[in-house]
Amino acid sequence: MTILDAHTHVFPQYADLAVEVMDRCGVERVVTLEWHDGFGDSLREHMKAFGRYPGRFVVFGNVDFSRINEPAFAQTAAEQMATDVDAGMRGLKVYKALGLEYREEKGDLWRVNDERLDPIWAKAGELGVPVLIHTADPPAFWQPVNESNFWNGVLHGEYAWWSYYRKGLPSIEELLAERNEVIRRHPDTTFICPHVGSRAATLDAAAEDLEEMPNLYYDISARIPIMGVSRRRSVRSREFLTECQDRVLFGTDLIYDDTNVPTGVQAQCLHQPGEIPLGDEDCRERYVETAVSFIRSHLDFLMTDTVQEDPPFRRTTRGYSIKGLGLPEEVCEKILFKNAQRLIDLG
Ligand SMILES: [Zn+2]
């Protein structure tokens, strides 16, 4: 079966490491999402590095949000995007900072649905490249980090700042409503909302959004713990992915960068620093191993009904297991490759 991982972050200096992991798991291609500076000269330089592995990397770039408060920002960004698509960029990645971090000069947060940004979304549609836009986070990030919070094994120490509880930020529903307004306003643009559109814990709402907006797609990256945590959730996830089999992409959110490879533990496992040794000579090999087990965990979850007793995702302090979905082969083929092939120009 052909496998395309539609959500990774590969820093170009680690392309070889990513290819080693892909080969070990039978992943033919990955979409790598640039990290804020994926436009202009730096994008070209990165694409050159990935070009050493023909047919393995598809690059989604960025627009320069550091200039968001400059006059005519969106028009300039749209023009830059056209040039970058000419150079080989295959999609636009927008970080959750839109809605949660980018502020206007007077201090208010930029709204996701601000009409001044429309030229960017419209241009992506014209150019025929999808927008992978991350908005909000799991509802648990807005809730107290107590015993019943499924993310309580993560939202402390190094990751305490991920919690939005009582920080005066917009609610998850406000953010997702603004995002949906953008998607409705641009029916000719394809939007891929990662992490099941921040609705992995509420799949009824996720399915309703898909039904209402034909230009909306999801990826499942980093959300299989909640999708398989109980029998009830696993049954519902199976129904959801069967119903919406044409609208969901496989993704892992694997990260290969300088801050994480030296830890020897795939960043997405979300270990706290201090729990893992840094920079020893075997770290690269261990990083490969942990990335491989992370991918296999996703594939097993989709393709088999195995119960993973000790999944490689830190989440709740109580420990948990993931019940596999055992999806039919033709559904897996769509999620693992065919849907991405339809949406993304693979060159
Ligand atoms: Zn990501």
Residue 158 above 90 pLDDT?
no
Q: From ligand 1's centre to the CA of 9, what distance in Å?
A: 6
Domain count, the chain: 1
Q: From ligand 1's centre to the CA of 300, what distance in Å?
A: 21
**pTM to 2 decimals?**
0.96
Which are the contacts of 245, defined by CB distance < 8 A and separation ≥ 6?
A: 331, 334, 335
* Alpha-carbon span 256 to 124, nearest angstrom: 27
Residue 266 above 90 pLDDT?
no
Q: How confident is the model at residue 263 (pLDDT cuts 50, 70, 90)?
A: confident
Q: From ligand 1's centre to the CA of 82, what distance in Å?
A: 23
Q: From ligand 1's centre to the CA of 35, what distance in Å?
A: 9
- What is the CB neighbour count within 10 angstroms for residue 297? 21
User: So what's the pLDDT on residue 272?
Assistant: 77
Mean pLDDT of 57-78: 98
Q: From ligand 1's centre to the CA of 32, what distance in Å?
A: 9
259: tokens are 């801050």
Q: From ligand 1's centre to the CA of 248, what distance in Å?
A: 16
Specify which of 154-158, 172-176, 257-261 reaches the highest per-range mean pLDDT. 172-176
Q: From ligand 1's centre to the CA of 93, what distance in Å?
A: 9
Supply the CATH number for residue 312's domain. Answer: 3.20.20.140
Residue 135 above 80 pLDDT?
yes
Q: From ligand 1's centre to the CA of 295, what distance in Å?
A: 14
Tokens 């339809």 found at: 342
Axis crossing angle, helix 40-50 with helix 73-86, rounded to the nearest 10? 30
Tokens 């040794």 found at: 277
Per-residue pLDDT tens for 279-319? Answer: 677 888 989 999 999 999 999 999 999 999 989 888 998 88
Q: Provide the domain limits for residue 137.
A: 4-343
In sequence order, what are the beta bridge partners of 250?
A: none
Q: From ligand 1's centre to the CA of 130, what distance in Å?
A: 15
Q: From ligand 1's centre to the CA of 194, what distance in Å?
A: 8
Q: From ligand 1's centre to the CA of 31, what distance in Å?
A: 11
Q: From ligand 1's centre to the CA of 249, what distance in Å?
A: 14
| CB distance 219 to 161 below 8 Å | no
